[in-house]
Amino acid sequence: MLFNSFEFICIFLPATLAGFFLLGWRQLPRLAVAWLVLASLFYYAWWSPWQIGVLAASIFGNFFLARRVAVGTRRKVWLVAGISANLALLLFFKYANPAYGLVDRWLDLGWNWHHVIMPLGLSFYTFQQIAYLVDAYRTCEREGSFMNYCLFVTFFPQLIIGPIVHHREMLPQFADDRVFRPSLANFNAGLPIFFLGLFKKVAIADPLGRYIDPAFAASAAGESLTLFEAWAAALGYTFQLYFDFSGYADMSIGIARLFGIQLPHNFDSPYQSRSMAELWRRWHMTLMRFMRDYVYIPLGGNRLGARRQQVNLLITMILCGLWHGDGAGWTFFVFGLLHGVVLIVNNQWTRWREANGIELGRWWDDGVARMLTFLTWCFGLVLFRAHTVGSATDIWKGMLGLNGAALPDQLLALLPFLQGWVEPLRHMPNLAKGTVLGLTEFVALLLLSAWLAFFCRNLHRLSARQRVVLLVPTFAFAIQGALFAGVPAQFLYFQF
């Protein structure tokens, strides 16, 4: 049941809101929380009922472990056991299939192995509960209400792909009586955020995906992409991933606000960053907060000297890349390694510039920095979408012009002097053999994406009045795209 589906928008969400506030109006807050937990479990079971078992085991296990970690003897032993159990569960579902394949090929065991399917949201709610265990150890405090803890983990707006919430942000809100009463202010704030996020998904991300998927499929099949194809695929995916994921984050924040719950922001206009370090601080902010607080700082952060800081950065980014991966290839490891090296270079450049008193405050310095940051990110994201490192390398060669050049038939017809010198597109049929309207739509989507990502203020920096004004033109288009476009497209981050 996707946020952009008819079942969710027209049936599940209104019914869940009605039941929650009806119980709250009858002054039954515990039943209201229980209702929201049951609704969240139903939402999760909609995908696959068996996955409820994994989620329930994780919740019960971590709630029990938190009691041992917070008080009593051998607290550190219980903490290590809890973190190990969570990571073991995550590693099993992520890497059982490739590990089996590797062992079977080496030893020729002939096992009758059933493919392990990773439960949705496992990475997100596992990290969330690891943070809870660590903080229970640090503060000697734990949540006393099991039902509130269940809601903290299962709250459906952020259960599947985040944001990764912190218990100090959520649990006090569940104990606030004002949450159980409907508020016009919350609806005025939540609905524009939800529909603007829906607009990002159905009006920008999904159409871009339809154009670039053939190019990546051709690359996965071993065909080389030419200059135009490679750049179209890379730029298209760079904007598709941003508007798909940030659209989901906006929708989750908007839905939670309808219930009176405020979720943390996950994006802060990352494509307006002037360095890769800044971009990572503004992209998937709750994940990077987790990696900073529970990986980078415990490793020593920047407290142990410049060389140790570089090692810590590299380890943190490699783990960040592996968190996104499924173990089937090396693409996410290389992605993490690449960005670790880029962040080290970024830090060295910043230190050198500060040591030599070089200031970059002019408008063209800012523009060049932003462009270099975006292009670095764009090249790196090829690893996110490509099936193998070899496929990503071939796309990079295409972006550098090493695989030759090709243009859509529509452009070749307008530039006859290039015919005979430049080939027509072969691997993007939606552009190559389509109408002029198809090419125009793709270019218009890229320009719209660039304008929104590079120059516009993000949704959370707009005033309430500005959001309401934007709601009017986006509401009809988003609803039309979500309810009348056939089967809704899945969100890209579901695979992580």
> Is 102 a residue whose pLDDT tops 80?
no
Q: What is the DSSP letter of 459?
A: G
Looking at 142-151, 286-295, 324-333, which range is the least confident one? Answer: 324-333
Could you tell me what percent of the chain has a pLDDT over 90? 49
Residue 30 class from Cβ within 10 Å (0-12 exposed, 13-18 middle, 19+ buried)?
Answer: exposed
> Is 389 a residue whose pLDDT tops 80?
yes
Residue range 147-152: average pLDDT? 94
Q: How far apart are CA 212 and CA 486, in angstroms?
A: 20
Angle, helix 331-355 to helix 363-385, in steps of 10 degrees: 160
Instruction: Name the more confident of 423 and 446.
Output: 446
> Is 419 a residue whose pLDDT tops 70?
no
Residue 473 pLDDT level (bands cut at 50, 70, 90): low
Which ranges of 387-435 does DSSP label H, i.e. alpha helix? 389-399, 409-414, 429-432
Written as six digits, the tokens of 23 are 């119980």
Instruction: Provide the mean pLDDT of the chain.
Output: 87
> Is 149 a residue whose pLDDT tops 80?
yes
On the question of a cis peptide bond just before residue 163, with omega within 30 degrees of 0, the verdict is yes
pLDDT at position 437 is 55
Say if CB 163 and CB 252 are below 8 A apart. Answer: yes
Q: How far apart are CA 251 and CA 257, in angstroms?
A: 10
pLDDT at position 459 is 77
Residue range 114-128: average pLDDT? 86
pLDDT at position 282 is 94
pLDDT in tens, 235-282: 999 999 999 999 999 999 999 999 999 999 999 999 999 999 999 999
User: Is 387 one of the annotated active-site residues of the chain?
Assistant: no
Instruction: Name the more confident of 104 and 135.
Output: 135
Q: 134: which residues sit within 8 A by CB, 6+ positions away?
A: 79, 83, 294
> Is 433 a residue whose pLDDT tops 60?
no
Instruction: Name the more confident of 246 and 463.
Output: 246
Looking at 53-62, 174-183, 350-359, which range is the least confident one? Answer: 350-359
Looking at 79-83, 160-164, 255-259, 309-313, which range is the least confident one? Answer: 160-164
Region of residue 327 (phi > 0: left; psi between -120 and 50: alpha; otherwise: beta)? left
> Is 479 a residue whose pLDDT tops 80?
no
Looking at 116-130, 322-336, 408-422, which range is the least confident one? Answer: 408-422
Element (H, E) at 105: helix 75-107
Q: How far apart are CA 146 and CA 148, in angstroms?
A: 5
Q: Could you tell me which of 9, 8, 1 has the C-alpha nearest to residue 475?
A: 9
Q: How far apart are CA 335 and CA 103, in angstroms?
A: 25
Torsion of Cα atoms, 221 then 227 then 228 then 233, to 10°:
50
> Is 137 a residue whose pLDDT tops 70?
yes
Residue range 169-197: average pLDDT? 89
DSSP string, 247-304: HHHHHHHHHHHHTT--PPP--S-GGG-SSHHHHHHHSSHHHHHHHIIIIITTTTTTTT
pLDDT at position 412 is 73
pLDDT at position 353 is 80
> Is 13 a residue whose pLDDT tops 90?
yes
Q: Could you tell me which of 160, 210, 176, 225 has the C-alpha nearest to residue 425?
A: 225
Residue 79 pLDDT level (bands cut at 50, 70, 90): very high
Say if CB 100 and CB 328 are below 8 A apart. Answer: no
Written as six digits, the tokens of 211 are 């154009």
- Structural Rg of the chain based on CA atoms: 24
Q: How far is CA 442 from the centre of its chain?
A: 23
Written as six digits, the tokens of 42 are 């139903």
Q: What one-letter code names the amino acid at 27? A: Q
Q: Residues, the chain, total?
A: 496
Say if CB 47 and CB 120 are below 8 A apart. Answer: yes
Could you tell me what percent of the chain has a pLDDT over 70? 89
Residue range 278-299: average pLDDT? 93
pLDDT at position 35 is 96
pLDDT at position 325 is 76
Catalytic residue selected from 265, 284, 324, 427: 324
Q: What is the DSSP letter of 338?
A: H
Residue 205 pLDDT level (bands cut at 50, 70, 90): very high
pLDDT at position 411 is 74
SS (H, E, C) 206-221: HHHHHHHHHHHHHHHC
